[in-house]
Amino acid sequence: MLITLVVANQKGGVGKTTTALNLAASLSAASRKVLLIDLDSQGNSTTGTGEEKNEGLHSLLDVMVNESDSLEKVIEETKYKFDLIPANSDLISAEIELSSLPSPTSILKKKLADMQASYDYVVIDCPPSLGMMSVNALRAASKVLIPLQCEYYSLEGLASMNKTIKEINEATGENIEINGILRTMYDSRIRLSREVSKELEEHFSEQLCDTVIPRNVKLAEAPSFGMPALYYEPEAKGTLAYLALAGEIINKFESSINVS
């Protein structure tokens, strides 16, 4: 059964794209068929695979606007065992293009319904803002993963995401919830990091991932070479952490989907 895993945080600079990209690579390395969707007009997940931002005849926004179009029209194969729907500069105008359509925030959910037999996971990299594309992603989600740094403002960002999801549920009748909280760029030498991590363990124990992503130079370097860390430096601490996260997600999310 398809698991749509949305990686979201309204706060930027928390490792959201790094998580989406490396999780897609790690899940595919675990023999899962994976589609990565880049919803951020900056296209960092796209360039992180070595692909160019899609400036061709058809874009994801085109497919969303045209009811009869399938997502297959814009899916590209990558060199890294997972498929990609690349970002496009058209996404900048998504608010205007989609706002005139009926049920504009449920379009992606409907399009993904046709992909059930094609993939095990769809990993969606959201833009760092709450716009039309982010709400589309959240409404399409079967699981929501929130990456955050262990710093004071991250806790504020988590509270903001909780509030946003509650508002979307109230407005749409969805039952979206945060299923995973991932500590990223973690440095145990910093006291604040340890303190915030402890707060998360105390207050969000059910959602908090056991895996912690360390601050790691190889994770930061890999996108500039157009590759996930798994293919840039397989033995790096950051790479091994994302492989561990993929294993944790498989164990936790697949069993919950099967039970439900």
Domains (range + CATH), the chain: 3-259 (3.40.50.300)
Whether the model pTM is above 0.85: yes
56 band by pLDDT with thresholds 50, 70 and 90: low
| pLDDT of amino acid 52 | 77
Residue-wise pLDDT for 78-134, tens only, equals: 999 999 999 988 888 888 889 889 999 999 999 999 898 999 999 999 998 888 999
Distance CA 130, CA 108 (A): 15
| pLDDT of amino acid 257 | 62
Residue-wise pLDDT for 207-218, tens only, equals: 999 999 999 999
Residue-wise pLDDT for 221-245, tens only, equals: 999 999 999 999 999 999 999 999 9
